[in-house]
């Protein structure tokens, strides 16, 4: 479903991704771990098509399509969702407005009819209830005045409504208390644990991987994947640290 080959990318002339290769099949959850500054968030931004992140070499295929040739909005319409390490606040736009226009833009791009007001409300209620976000909060401006944990749960509400095929979740667990972590972990499983979907789960912590058990675990260091394994690799990292793997 996602095939990254020999990806090189730079930001502001600084080379950050350095020959990264990764293969994720439909139905799989791939955990990406690795030391600070390894390039994990950069990988997410490159996949999402954030301006300023320049791919200098390599390829990314999403369902066999050249992902890097698509504009960011086309990538989203193709089913890619990015959950941010630091969700942005958007003053002046309410969550519901934002979600409804995002959902409808994607549906239009796919040649599907727009969602009706009633259906949108129903979907939004379902997702908000499941993630412990009140409808009042969804009427507020996007993330404005939300606590760290509320922002992360709000990202999951977005994901539930958008219903993507491939989610890149960048430290969605950071800053969450134990209860919120469980809510978020359950949300990821509920929304994304499906045979036709896949997740890149960027995390530092085993406690999320206890809830969302990965099919593959990869260590990203120095802009490339330096080790890969199964769930046991995450346990080993927790015991022993990145040590010699840190570039
Ligand atoms: P991670 O998410 O793994 O902690 P990042 O992808 O955020 O790492 O960053 C990788 C490296 O790229 C870091 O050394 C960071 O300082 C550097 N970096 C990120 N953004 C920029 C930028 N705009 N200009 C220069 N260096 C950057
Ligand atoms: Mg990061």
The pLDDT value given to residue 150? 87
Cα(40) to ligand 2 centroid in Å equals 5
Q: Any residues with CB less than 8 A from the CB of 144 and at least 6 apart, and which? A: 89, 90, 91
Among 8, 11, 50, 226, say which to mutate for ligand 1: greatest number of ligand atoms within 8 Å of CB: 11
Dump pLDDT digits (tens) for 100-110.
999 999 899 88
**Nearest atom (ligand 1) to Cα of 43:** 6
Cα(105) to ligand 2 centroid in Å equals 28
Count of domains observed in the chain: 1
Cα(27) to ligand 1 centroid in Å equals 30
Distance CA 238, CA 229 (A): 14
CATH code for position 62: 3.40.50.300
Give the number of other Cβ atoms within 10 Å of residue 235's Cβ: 15
Given a contact cutoff of 8 angstroms between Cβ atoms, the answer to whether 7 and 57 are in contact is yes
The pLDDT value given to residue 238? 87
Residues enclosing ligand 1, CB less than 6 A? 11-12, 14, 16, 34, 36-42
Cα(187) to ligand 2 centroid in Å equals 21
The pLDDT value given to residue 62? 97
Range of the domain at 187: 2-246
Nearest to residue 135, comparing CAs of 95, 170, 174? Answer: 95
Given a contact cutoff of 8 angstroms between Cβ atoms, the answer to whether 53 and 35 are in contact is no
Q: Which ligand has its closest atom nearest to the C-alpha of 43?
A: 1
Q: Any residues with CB less than 8 A from the CB of 128 and at least 6 apart, and which? A: 134, 135, 137, 138, 157
Q: What stretches in the chain show pLDDT beneath 70?
A: 244-247
- Both tokens of 209, joined, read 């991987």
How many Cα neighbours within 13 Å face the side chain of 247?
16
The pLDDT value given to residue 104? 93
């Amino acid at each position: 479903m996602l095939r990254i080959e020999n990806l090189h990318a730079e930001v502001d002339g600084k080379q950050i991704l350095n020959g990264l290769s990764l293969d994720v099949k439909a139905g799989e959850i791939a955990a990406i771990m690795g030391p600070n500054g390894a390039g994990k968030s950069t990988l997410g931004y490159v996949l999402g098509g954030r301006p300023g992140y320049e791919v200098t070499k390599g390829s990314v295929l999403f369902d066999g399509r050249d992902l890097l040739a698509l504009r960011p909005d086309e990538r989203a319409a193709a089913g890619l969702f990015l959950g941010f390490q630091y969700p942005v606040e958007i003053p002046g736009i309410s969550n519901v407005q934002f979600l409804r226009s995002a959902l409808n833009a994607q549906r239009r791009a796919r040649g599907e009819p727009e969602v009706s007001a009633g259906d949108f409300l129903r979907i939004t209620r379902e997702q908000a209830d499941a993630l412990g976000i009140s409808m009042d909060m969804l009427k507020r401006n996007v993330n404005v005045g939300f606590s760290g944990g509320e922002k992360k749960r709000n990202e999951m509400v977005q994901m539930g409504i958008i219903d993507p095929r491939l989610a890149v979740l960048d430290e969605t667990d950071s800053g969450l208390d134990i209860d919120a972590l469980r809510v978020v972990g359950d949300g990821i499983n509920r929304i994304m644990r499906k045979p036709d979907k896949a997740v890149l789960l960027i995390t530092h912590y085993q406690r999320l991987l206890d809830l969302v058990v990965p099919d593959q675990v990869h260590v990203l260091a120095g802009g490339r994947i330096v080790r890969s394994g199964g769930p046991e690799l995450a346990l080993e990292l927790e015991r022993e640290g990145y040590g010699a793997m840190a570039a």
